[in-house]
């Protein structure tokens, strides 16, 4: 299906958000879509960044210089149509738990996308986000999150409040055993975070992950 671009927001030199007409596209927070230029064989999967009740679709994209899709999308413009398919995936929150449980979201880089959708979709969500990034400029739209709910672990900035990797900060936290944990990002972060969470008494069936390349 074709969806027209409403706007493009550049967050850094390489990272941007494309806002598209929604066109009655139904999805659950945490799902992803496949996006590409019409008549081009290459499509790329992106977690949906926007909330389920918003009248548009948004995706957060990092341009990969050797990529087949992100470079072309970076050159797109408002009014241009893109090919969208989906939604796909099961990285979603169980309905009863949304109102009853505490959530810990661990993200690296643009892996924060599904968590942004969670927060926009469920305003009463009891959550904490730890975002592993290299520089403070990569705390993408951190104002979207309630005060005291978003924490950036910054590995390449000595002036950051939390200096170092996400996993190092995770080791310092005390977690309630009933906390539901969702991990989205690179495979190394997910592997290490799994071990840390289990060492803190979080059962493996309360840890959910999605690898973000």
The CATH number covering residue 207 comes to 3.40.50.80
Q: Are residues 76 and 112 in the same domain?
A: no
Predicted pLDDT of residue 212: 75
Nearest to 91 by CA among 70, 105, 101, 81: 105
Q: Are residues 113 and 57 in the same domain?
A: no
Q: Are residues 73 and 139 in the same domain?
A: no
How far apart are alpha carbons 147 and 166 in whole angstroms?
19
- Reduced to 3 states (helix: H, G, I; strand: E, B; else coil), residue 145 is coil
Predicted pLDDT of residue 213: 55
Which residues of the chain are modeled with pLDDT < 70? 213
Q: Are residues 101 and 131 in the same domain?
A: yes
Predicted pLDDT of residue 56: 98
Task: Please identify, among 53, 88, 123, the residue that sits at the C-terminal boundary of a domain.
Answer: 88
**What is the tens place of the pLDDT at every residue in 119-160?**
999 999 999 999 999 999 999 999 999 889 999 999 998 777
Task: Please identify, among 34, 66, 88, the residue that sits at the C-terminal boundary of a domain.
Answer: 88
Q: Are residues 102 and 153 in the same domain?
A: yes
Predicted pLDDT of residue 133: 96
Number of domains in the chain: 2
Predicted pLDDT of residue 24: 94
Q: Are residues 53 and 108 in the same domain?
A: no
Predicted pLDDT of residue 211: 87
Q: Are residues 84 and 107 in the same domain?
A: no
Paired tokens of 35:
């996006």
How far apart are alpha carbons 124 and 111 in whole angstroms?
22
Domain carrying residue 180 = 95-211
Task: Please identify, among 67, 88, 109, the residue that sits at the C-terminal boundary of a domain.
Answer: 88
Q: Are residues 202 and 113 in the same domain?
A: yes
What is the dihedral angle through the alpha carbons of 109, 114, 34, 185, rounded to the nearest 10 degrees?
A: 40
- Residue 36's Cα: distance from chain center in Å? 19
């Amino acid at each position: 299906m074709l969806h027209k671009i409403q706007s493009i927001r550049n967050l850094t030199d390489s990272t941007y958000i494309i806002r598209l007409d929604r066109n009655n596209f139904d999805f659950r927070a945490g799902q992803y879509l496949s996006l590409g230029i019409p008549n081009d064989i290459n499509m790329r999967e992106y977690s949906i960044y926007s909330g389920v009740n918003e009248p548009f679709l948004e995706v957060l994209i990092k341009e990969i210089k050797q990529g087949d899709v992100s470079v072309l999308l970076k050159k797109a413009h408002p009014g241009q149509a893109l090919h969208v398919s989906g939604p796909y995936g099961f990285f979603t929150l169980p309905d009863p738990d949304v109102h009853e449980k505490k959530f810990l979201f661990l993200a690296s880089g643009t892996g924060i996308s599904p968590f942004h959708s969670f927060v926009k979709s469920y305003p009463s969500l009891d959550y904490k986000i730890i975002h592993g990034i290299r520089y403070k400029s990569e705390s993408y739209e951190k104002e979207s999150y309630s005060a005291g709910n978003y924490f950036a672990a910054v590995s390449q900035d000595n002036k950051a409040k939390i200096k170092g990797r996400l996993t190092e900060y995770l080791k310092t936290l005390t977690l309630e055993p009933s906390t539901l944990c969702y991990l989205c990002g690179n495979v190394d972060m997910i592997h290490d975070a799994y071990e840390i969470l289990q060492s803190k008494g979080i059962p493996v069936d309360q840890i959910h992950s999605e690898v973000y390349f």
